[in-house]
Amino acid sequence: MVRSALVAFFALCGALSCVPAVANDELSTDANIITGLDVSSSINAQETMLQIDGMAQAIRSPAILAAIQHGQHRRIGFAVFVWADGDYPELVSWRTIGSQEDAEATSQEITARLDSLLKSSARSVGTLTNLSGAMEHASEMLSQAPFRAKRALVNIIGNGEDNVGEDPQRARAALLASGATINGVVVGGDPAVLNYYRSQVIGGRTAFVLPADNAETLVQVFAMKFVSEIALNIEPASRPDRM
């Protein structure tokens, strides 16, 4: 199983490439964006691979870089983790994306980690769908981001309702109180789950939830989501740089 390989894989990469590309406390970004990918038992191995590969492909989209380039700082903070009901391993630790080279390097790292993940074996990250835990972890990661940003965006990707015991409203309220916007992508596009995300998960001034009902649309949804949230949540540059 893909999710059963996650913990060992991320432990192996911890001393190598899991260090943020930039760790400057004084560096500012136009937005810090963190994405949580669901690897609970309701997500099968193919859907796990689709989420991660979809993210790797989408982040290379020229439209995303174009949106980033319209910001005051022309860069975003970016991180990705995976979630279920136990550990929350980081797929991509905090780094900045401000150029095509940054995007390509991030995409290649995601793909390389997926390849290593598929060859690894270890205990399961978890089987239940702990949405509240994922949102709390996202909040913790945002508080530890090494970049200053006026805007924080959390993307929660999943295909089911929280079944651990606590609904996500308290975690959502805490994120919203910190100023973050919470968006969602529902893998499979189940209308009931979409409604659940609308009422229990997403929140903030520009929040939205999108369905991804098949493999072909997932990359498009990821790309559209990142472009939309970057465009809606960054301050435009006052003027282009001149030589």
Got the DSSP string for 119-162?
A: H-----S-SS--HHHHHHHHHHHHHT-SSEES-EEEEEEESS--
Contacts of 243 (CB under 8 A, 6+ apart): none
The confidence score (pLDDT) of residue 19 equals: 36
Three-state DSSP class for 72? Answer: coil
Q: What is the pTM of this model?
A: 0.80
| Predicted pLDDT at 11 | 33
Percent helix, percent strand, percent coil in the chain, to nearest 5: 45, 20, 35
**Polymer length of the chain:** 243
Identify the CATH assignment for 3-233 out of 3.40.190.10, 3.30.70.260, 2.40.30.10, 3.40.50.410: 3.40.50.410
CA 102 to chain centre: 16
- Please list the pLDDT of the chain residue by residue as tens digits (243 residues): 444 434 333 333 332 233 344 444 468 999 999 999 888 777 777 777 777 788 888 888 888 888 888 888 999 999 998 887 777 888 899 999 999 999 999 998 888 876 666 565 443 455 677 888 899 999 999 999 999 998 999 999 988 888 876 789 999 999 999 999 999 989 888 999 999 999 999 999 889 898 887 656 777 777 777 787 777 766 766 544 443
Contacts of 2 (CB under 8 A, 6+ apart): 39, 45, 48, 49, 117, 118
Residue 241, helix vs strand vs coil: coil
